[in-house]
């Protein structure tokens, strides 16, 4: 409670400080815009009046000069009086003292004022006092973490019966990271987060969006998840296949070379689910499956000590085709393998028969059978082989 309360205080303070900074910036920008508008109107309106004033002042100055010159002519010496009066008369005739520039009428002269509506404060006050809420119980919570090779299956549940979710949003971060990042948004209540480093803590949280709503609910209580299982990887170096940077995706290239592409190590353990997503053109000779050991020289997993499904849906156990079949593997199909150990006889760990119960699922159908081996084997290789180029296989 104390930790979440402290975090909530920090979030609220940061949010409102950001709002105050943004509002101040917006108000300063609006003030500057209005002041610039006042300056522009003032400059545009005062220019003709300034020019009119200059003309009037020039006329008055000229009239004063002429008046002084006339006074000098009248009061001067008699010998020069006639000449001065003659010059004065000529100058007076050339100067138009009875004309004035056109002066704008008073109604045409702008008179600036600021129009400020106080309702903005009322609107802001109402919006501010409705802004933000504090929730004590998020409507969804994290429920379960299931280890996967190089990943974690995260499940969550709804804890508010009155809440009707439309979709969910899952985030995670490494224990050393400072920010969460989105990893899933959708309507499902579980998701496999891949590209997880083994033996490293990750923090998860989930929220939901109510039906018909735009905003997300409060976050769930963050929880720590980790996986101890190394990621599944295809082995490198086989000529007929190109691998992704993480080596969990294999692409059948145009090479004429054929053979079985195996996993780098026996990373599939009984009790796990192996999922293979595929896309390509099917052929009966193709194979997707698991095996006890890598055996070079074979073009398919349709051999001893292996179980597999062909891309046309045929299932093979130790090289023999079963009567039960699965639907053909089409573009974007997902094939899953689940196995559990069933031991036969009192000395099964000393060389006797060893049985694995295998479930293979594809396109909403599954087959279940017992795979009998002559040795104890709880970790297996996985592999694939394809006749045609273009197959893309993701394993997790």
Residue 35 CA to residue 42 CA, distance in Å, equals 11
Residue 310 CA to residue 314 CA, distance in Å, equals 5
Residue 291 CA to residue 383 CA, distance in Å, equals 8
pLDDT at 346: 52
pTM of the predicted model, to two decimals? 0.61
pLDDT at 344: 58
pLDDT at 253: 92
| 326-364 pLDDT per residue, tens | 999 887 888 999 999 887 555 444 445 788 999 999 988
Which regions of the chain are under pLDDT 50?
Answer: 347-351
Residue 42: strand, helix, or coil: helix
Q: Which one, of 185, 190, 205, 194, lies nearest residue 157 by Cα?
A: 190
């Amino acid at each position: 409670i104390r930790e979440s309360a402290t975090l909530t205080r920090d979030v609220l303070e940061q949010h409102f400080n950001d709002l105050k900074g943004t509002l101040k910036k917006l108000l300063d920008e609006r003030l500057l815009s209005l002041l610039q508008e006042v300056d522009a109107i003032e400059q545009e309106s005062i220019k003709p009046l300034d020019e009119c004033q200059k003309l009037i002042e020039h006329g008055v100055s000229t009239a004063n000069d002429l008046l002084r010159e006339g006074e000098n002519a009248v009061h001067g010496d008699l010998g020069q009086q006639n000449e001065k009066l003659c010059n004065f008369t000529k100058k007076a005739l050339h100067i138009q003292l009875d004309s004035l520039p056109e002066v704008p009428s008073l109604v045409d002269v702008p008179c600036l004022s600021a129009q400020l509506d106080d309702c903005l404060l009322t609107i802001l006050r109402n919006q501010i006092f409705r802004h933000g809420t504090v929730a004590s119980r998020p409507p969804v919570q994290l429920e379960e973490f299931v280890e996967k090779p190089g990943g974690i299956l995260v499940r969550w549940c709804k804890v508010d019966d009155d809440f009707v979710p439309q979709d969910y949003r899952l985030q995670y971060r490494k224990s050393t990271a400072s920010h969460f990042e989105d990893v899933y948004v959708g309507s499902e209540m579980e998701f496999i987060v891949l590209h997880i480093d083994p033996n490293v803590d990750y923090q998860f949280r989930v929220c939901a969006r109510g039906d018909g709503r735009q905003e997300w609910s409060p976050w769930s209580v963050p929880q720590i998840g980790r996986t101890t299982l190394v990621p599944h990887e295809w082995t490198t170096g086989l000529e007929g296949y190109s691998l992704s940077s993480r080596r969990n995706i294999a692409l059948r290239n145009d090479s004429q070379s054929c053979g079985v592409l195996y996993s780098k190590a026996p990373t599939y353990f009984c009790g796990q689910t192996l999922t293979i997503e595929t896309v390509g053109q099917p052929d009966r000779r193709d194979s997707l499956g698991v095996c006890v050991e890598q055996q070079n020289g074979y073009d398919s997993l349709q051999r001893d000590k292996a179980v597999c499904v062909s891309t046309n849906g045929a299932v093979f156990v130790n090289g023999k085709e079963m009567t039960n079949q699965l639907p053909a593997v089409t573009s974007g199909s997902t094939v899953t393998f689940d196995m559990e150990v069933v031991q036969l006889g009192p000395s099964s760990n000393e060389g006797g028969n060893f049985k694995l119960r295998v479930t293979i699922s594809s396109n909403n159908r599954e087959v279940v059978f017992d795979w009998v081996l002559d040795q104890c084997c709880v970790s297996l290789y996985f592999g694939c082989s394809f006749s045609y180029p273009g197959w893309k296989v993701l394993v997790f």
